[in-house]
Every structure is written in C-alpha cells, then in structure tokens.
Structure 1
Amino acid sequence: MPRVVTSFDSVVLAAIAREIGAFVGSRIGRVTQPDPEEVAIELRGRTAPVSLLVSIHARWGRVHLIERLTGGDLSTFGLLLRSRLEGARLTAVHQTPFERVLRLAVDTLEGSVDLVAEIMGRHSNLILVQNGIITGSLKTVPPAKSALRVVRPGSPYAPPPVDRPSPADLTEDALRQLLTKSNDPLVQHLVASILGLSPALATELVVRARLDPHAPANAQSDAIAQLWVEMKDLMRIVQTQAFTPIIYLDGDQPVGFAPFPYEHLASLPHRLAASMSEAVAATLGQFGPAARLDEERAALLTAVRRALARVARRELELRQAIAEAAGTGRLRAHGELLLTYAAQVPVGAAEVTLPGYDGTPTTIPLDPALSAAGNAQQLFKRYKRVRDARATLASRLSEAEAERAYLESVLTLIAQATTAGDLADLRWELADESYLRRPTRRLTRPSAKSQPRRFAVEGGRLVLVGRTNRENDALTFKTAAPEDVWLHARGVPGAHVILKTDGKAPPEGAIRQAAALAAFFSQAREEASVPVDYTRRKYVRKPQGAKPGLVTYTHEQTLRVSPAAPDAWVVDRGGGHKERPHSGT
C-alpha cells in the first residue's frame, strides 16, 4: 500500500462538515456497518441518497460522504443506531473550529439526540448522546481503562479534553512566546503545542512563511511575523469555508488530500477534487478491509516470530546443556583419580596433574580449601546432578521442538488466511496458548462448531480443510469419521485435510485432488512438487499434552503432487455461501 503524505486533520473535517451540512433536513435511511470499526448512515436528500461514513480506525479514521454502502453484521451499537436513527431527520451539523469532533443533531421519535464522531487516532469513537447522557458507543471506555474520561452507556458525555490553544486562541505575541519555550524542530513543536495542526498542515504554514521546518523553534522566534500572517490566513479559510479540495497522486494512485493546495507538496502530481469527501474517500478508501487484513496479519506474524525467536534461543541453550551433560563421565573419572592418588595431591593446590587410566596425564581443577577426598566428593555430586538432569534436558528439548513446530504451523496458517474471521480465530488460538493477551470483547470468540474450508472434488466428494490449529483438531477428531481419508503435506507445517468417504473407497483422482489441496494449504505452497501423506483417520492420534494441530499417524502412503489453487472447484464455507479461493497470500 502507498505511503499517505497527509492526514485527516481538523481543517479537513471542517471542509467535510460543510459538505454534510448540505444534507441538513434529510431523512436518515438505512444504517449499516461495512466493517466492525465503521458505520454508514444513509442520507436521503433532494438528490440521490448518499451515505455518511464514520470510521474509528486508529490509523485511517475519518468522516466523509460516499455512495451508498452495503454492510456486514451489525454490532450491538449498530443495532441501537438502526433502531434510533432510521427514519429520523438530520437537523444540524457542528464542529468546533480546529477540533476533530463532529456533532450531528438528529430529531428522532424519542426526542433529539446527538451522534458525535471523535476522530482522534487510537482514541477515535462514535457516540450516541441524549440529554447529555451516553446511550451507546462504538467503543466502550470503562473506568478501569481511563480514569479521566469514561465512555459507556449511562455516563454523562464530556467532550475530549483540550490541553492546548487553537489558532483562534492565539495572538502574534502568544505565538512568539510559544516558540521561545522549545528547541524542538519547528513543525514538531507546532503540532505538539497548537490544537488542530497536523504535521502536513504545520509544515505548510512553515513553508509558506519561508521558515525552516526542521530548525529549532526558539531559533526562529524572531521571524514569527510571517508565520502569524499564514496562521491568520488559515483561520480565514476555515471561517469563510473557502476550501479547494485537492488529491495528491503517485502515478494514478491517490496518496494524499488537502483542503487547499499545499506548496510543500507542489512537486507531486495532483488534481482538483469534486469535494473534500471525494478526496478523502479516494485516498483512505483504499485502506479498507484488505488493508486492515494485512495489518492484522502483520501484527500476528510479528508476535509469532518473536515467540519463535524465544523458542530458538531455548533450544540452543538446551542443546548446549545436553552437550555439556554428555561429558559427565569425565567428572566421575576425575573424582576416582583423586581418590586413587590422594596421597599425591598437594594440600591447598588449585589444580593437580595425575596419570589417567590410559597413562595420559590428566589435569584436574581443585578447590584449594578442600582435601583430595573433599574435591572428589564435589565431583561425584556434580556428576550425579548432571546425570539426573540429562533426562529432563532431553524432555525439555522435545517440548521446545514441538512448540517450534506448532508456531511454524501457525505462521503458515496466518500467511494463508483469507478473511478477517480466519485471523480473529488465530488470534484467539494464540491467546488461549498464552502467546497473546486475550482479545477485547469486540472480537468475537470463534464458534465451538468447526467451519473449515469446503471443496468438492472428483465424484462430488467433499474435502474439508482446517483454517486454524484448533480447527484442525476439531476437524480430525470430531468431524471426520474413522474411515475418512486424512491428508497432510509431509514434513512441513500445513492444514489438516479430510476427504469424506461415506464408508466407500474414494477414487484415486479424488485422493490426488485432496492431496493437491493439502500441498496448497501448506508451507510448501510455492514448491513444484510436494510429498503428501495420507491415511485413514482412525490411524491419526493426538499425543497427550500436545499443542493444537500436532498429531502422529501410521499406515500412511505418500503421493507427490503439485500444489495448485483450486480455482476450478466450488468452495463452500458453510451456510450456502460460496466463493473462489485465493491463489496466493
């Protein structure tokens, strides 16, 4: 995905608030949720209906008008909005200048309510308020999470706290005093000290004032007059709503938006936008479900790779300890030599050289405070301790190797996940295995009922493919019948695959197609030829205490197949919904 060169700031919101204001008096139609962090509200005005999209995504949060959107499943808050707002009338739109808070006043059958969109990074939220009391929100903030500002039903609504002046609160002298207080880079200090200035907006003001964005703020306080002129011009644009929306491009791909042309981005290709909403939607709309899927995938991959690094270090330490333990016989031999030649060991010596059993001189380190017999006893104790630990070390190494195999299988499953639901299930699995903190209540725990990928192969035979390790276990040991065929790519992480037989011998072609699926849904997906083991499900066992997805099996046969995306086969994810599988990750 491209790097976006601007952000959704208070002036962009002011331009969009003006556009939404044109729909005051409109009826509200259907309320949908295209994504768990988004709400789309249909506005039925004099023209064709449009949707008001509110996203509270931590990175791509925004508010803008867009063509009508279809939605996914409604959250509890989505259901509340649908019941309260559908059929109501939008009566006012308000934004306090230089704040990223938009208040929509709505006249409903139960009285007036305010829908408040707060676009503030990871603190973004959408809140329904009536008579100053919160009736619901897209994101709940209990007292345990924030003692400063509670957001939950029944609590009084308080706007986000403001801890710095806005441009409208400043004078030229106040701006000069603000700059003399810091030797931080000028743009960085402006963003941190003045409400409503994003990095792009602050950079634009500084560039127009012919100041150095990167030089210390206090080194430029004497040249503040022109910066104050540019600040006043910004306030004029906001007050008069003299916006000229711009889209910035990289090739033909939008990479930024602005409420007026930015001098510091003049070198980028750009074009006028029909509206600020169009500019924002064109740029940030590309960071939709697919981008969020990639973000979640990257976060899970990072967590698993960290865990793998820890396991690798533990394996190395255990192998080194086992190698040291292999030399325990030397400790016992040294102790026996000390007892045999005790009379030749000088009192208080730090070491002694004695003839070994094969006649070779052997140097033995000593504790000078102990006699020959005392040193021998210490060596015998060390020998016994290391000898007894050898079995434990081997067991711990086996556990570490099994954990590594499990984590490598999770890496493969994460890389090949195709839906947000797949990744959510894997996040829960990792949390249950203590690799991650448990997800918030907003992330639904996967159903106990397995929902594997479903394919039809030769003869109409059904093939089931696990999406997570827990689902692999459920598929193999709960869904599959004893005579069904179980398949897995040999020696590499991958999904459990079940070819349903209904008690009848499957044709060879069906087995080969199922094997091709097992190869495709494995770490060896990109290989030209992959060995795949298959056996009856009754010959697959789950070792006691084994991690999810880890099994042993016997009576296997092996096929060599080419992994191939099953584009020609119908895919049924259950419930009648059918799709085509992806050919890669």
Structure 2
Amino acid sequence: MALDGIVISNIVAELNSTILNSKISKIAEPEADELLLTLKGPNGSFRLSMSASASLPFIYLTPTNKVSPLTAPTFCMVLRKHIANGRITKIYQPGMERIINFEIEHLNEMGDLCHKVLIIELMGKYSNIIFTDSDGTIIDSAKRIPASVSSVREVLPGRAYKIPATQEDKYNPLTVDSKQFVDIISAKPLTVSKAIYSSFSGISPLVANELAHRAGLDADSPVAAYSHDELLHLGSNFTWMMEDIKNNRFTPNIVRDGNEPKEFSSIELTQYSDLTVTKYESISEVLELYYSERNAYTRIRQKSADLRKHVNTLLERNQKKYSLQMKQLKDSEKREKYKVYGELINAFGYGLTPDDKFLEAANYYDDNKIIKIPIDNTKTPAENAQKYFDKYGKMKRTAEALNELILETKGQIDHLESIQNSLDIALSADDLVQIKDELIEYGFIKKGKGSKKQKVKSKPFHYISSDGFDMYVGKNNYQNDELTFKLATGNDWWFHAKGMPGSHVIVKAENKELPDSTFEEAGKLAGYYSKGKNADKVEIDYLQKKNVKKPNGAAAGFVVYYTNYSLTIHPDISDIRQIE
C-alpha cells in the first residue's frame, strides 16, 4: 500500500490549495486507465495526472504533457461530453480511505447548471476512475465491473455508486484518542505493526512501523509484550500524528538507499536513520520523482535479468567446480604416505616371504614407529615398492595440475563476482553495454554473429568531498581500469573494499595533502559500491595510485599492491555530494 490514507490526505490538501475552482480545459486519456486533465484557474494552469493501473495507481500534479491516441477512448469521450469546461468546486477524501472525490459543476446542452462527481479509487488491483451524476448514479468508469467479476460491487453505467466496503473492524484514525487506540490494539493477539494497520483505515505497514519506532517499540513484537504505559506512549504518538494530518502538517519525502528510491511518505520517516531522506515541498513532486526513479530501477533490473541469470549460473558452476577441486587436492595430500611405503619396502622388504600380506617396519621418518604396509604377495618387494612410487608420482602430478586449475577457477569466481557487483550498481542500459562487452571478451558469453560493439556512453560516478576534492567511482571493471591507469596520476589516492568485489575509487589529490574527512568519504564510497554495501562495517584498503600495479594478463579491473593503509567505515554515502 504505497499510496496510503495519509498520502491521499496530503494530495487532497495540495489539490485544494492549487486547483480548487479551476476550469477543466482539456481531457486526455494517454494510456488505458489513465487521465490527464489540463486545468486553468485562480492559481494558474496545471496538469493533473491520474491512473487506475492495477500495478501502479497514482494521482499528482505534473508539468509534463503526454501524447494521447488519435482516437479518444470511450471513457475519455464521455468525460469530454459532460465536464469539458466544467469547474472543480470541491475536492475531498471520505474518511481516511484511499479515495478522492472531485465535485464538478458544468452547463449541459440546454445551458442548465449541472453537477457531476469524478471519483478516483487508489486501491491497488481494485483501483478505478468512476464518473457519476450528483445523485450517485454511475455514468461510466475507466474499468467496468459486472456481476460476473464482482458480486459484491458492480461498477456499470446506471448502477448506484457504492463506496468500496472496508473491513468492519477498521476504525477511522482521525476520530480515535490514545486511550481508545490502546483498547483497540490490545484486543488483537498480533504484532504491534499488524495490530495498528489492520485496525485503522488508511494506515499502511510503513506508517505502523514508523509509529512503533517513534515510541521505541519493536514493530514485530506482540502487543502483549508491552505494558499499558508503553502502549499509551504509542497511542500518544498515534494521536500526535493524526493531529498533524488534521491540520495539514505534512512532510513529503523520499527515502533512498544511495540512488535507489526505497519508500516515500507524507510523514517524516525516522526509522530510516541509515538511509538518505530527502524532503520536498510538494507531494506531487515526490510521487512523480519516486515513480520515475522506481520505474528506472525496475526497467534496469528487467533489462539485466538475462545477464544476471547467466552470471549467477556460471558462478554457481565455478563454485561447485572449486569445491570439488579443493576436495581432490586434499585427497592428494596423502601422497607422501605412499612415498614412505615405497622407501620402507626397499629398505626392509628383503625379509618378506611369499605368504606375507603386510610388511611391519620401523618408520624412520616418524621416530621409528612401527607401521603396517599392505603387500601384494604376487609381486616382488621391488615391484611393490614401485607400485607405491607410481601412486605417489601420479598424485603429485594431480596436485600440481590441481593447484593451477584451482587458481584458474578462483580467478573465474572473483571475476564473475566483480561482474555481479557491476550489475548491482548499474543504473542505465548504457551501463549494461560495457558489462556485456566484458562478458563477451572473457568468453562468458558467445559473441552473436554480425553483432557490433556499441558506442559506450556510460561514465563513472563523480562525487565531490566535503573539502572539495573530486572522487570517481568505477561502475564496472572497464571503468575501474580506466580510472586507475588512465585518469589517476601517481600521487592520487586509490581506495577499494578489502577482500571483496567492489569498485575502484580514485581521489584526485592535485598534489595536495588530503584531509581526514576526504579519506573517510572516499572509504565510504568504496564500501558502498562493494559487496559489503549492507554490512555495518567494511574494511577499506587505500594507497597512492603509483603503488597499484596490474599483473600481465590480468582481467579487467584486477590489480595488486603490497603496501597499503586501512580504515574501517560504515558504508553510508548519504552526506556525500554527487555530481553525475
């Protein structure tokens, strides 16, 4: 429930302060289940975009126009017929429901003043845009719901509009005081969070978790685990929040993990102290930004899905191979025993008889302890000794070959994990181009016939330290190489998360001494853009670029260094300014 009742209250307050009494000058339906109204009124011109999409319902003011189909859909034509040039006289939210009603007055064909209601229900897969007469009779809707689809609530022309049925045990949070709040949630054998959002309309799990956090309670603990006083304190936080909503005191904000949008709300979210919380003046700006950014992340995840699957498959295959090779290497460590057997048979085998199946001899390699050596009595002592020497030689050759194979397999695993990290931080299709090129170059993907190398537009991340130093972060192994061996000069500083896949971070020192704060910020970037991003602490290696070397034949992004400094950081980059 991204658009909860509190966000809807914020939207209604914003719309009342901007488009109330505006005239509807244009009505368009750019996508199925989506309307774009162009409005002109006392406060200027606005575009109001609304969607009843099952996967992404929304409503917000936007400066962006959208191309509409040449032939307007039926619902759009109905709206144009009735309310084109109509005036919005009232905008309200019933209770704390995820519903917004627009009352509109207009002149009919006879010049008589008429009233209509445009209702947008923002309820996930049940979302709809419904157009009714002033008496509640449905004229039409974006989605027609016949009895065959829902026996509870038909949405068809000519039927009476009914507000969607809410759960009978849900209360309007705006009418509940702290004592009533405690009585309500105490009656449910649920966790604190679930007891709140299942008891009150318009309250999402996000808001319920926020209330628990503000009260110092664990949202996932049972209500029964807390005393009456602790629950009263929770109730006080609840009523304080509701007072803010009643008085239109909203704090539109987006919570981001680095560049990725995680949540949005109309209340301040104190539960995300380790993430970046950006506040905005307008809830419309929040919604448009959040959805566009979230869509960008969703699209890049979809576009990279095949690459991720391929890399994950190769990684699992190499990890299994590595595990088997390590087991075989461990088994080959027994070879020294066979060498000793052969030497002891040569030294003491002269006393064997044709019936002997074992040779008991003093092992002069182990304080003359007596050992029992199996003997093939069909062979001479010399042949028995040679059999053990042959076995030793074979296992020795196997161990030598395995050591090379293990290094090769480990190199493949490290390389694939670094590519996996590059996929995690990719933000655009251009970022994926270089990653795919790398997979092709190193034989992880076969090059398609006739495929041409695409022009690369992806660039490293660029940040500025609080002391004004440029800091660059590679998005993939090609960029890591370019930053370290082309952009950086000898006295620039190089940072990398210790012992794990991650980006190279370069700080351009410009022959100056770096302040401690810049070292810390660069370390945070190295930690954040590594496999340790979600860890509480990450150890970072750092040194001047002149001490970083690339071995001959090493894969892109792989370097060696022998002297370095270390620092331990929490990978939070929320306070570091990004340029591009």
User: TM-score scaled by structure 1?
Assistant: 0.48
User: TM-score scaled by structure 2?
Assistant: 0.49
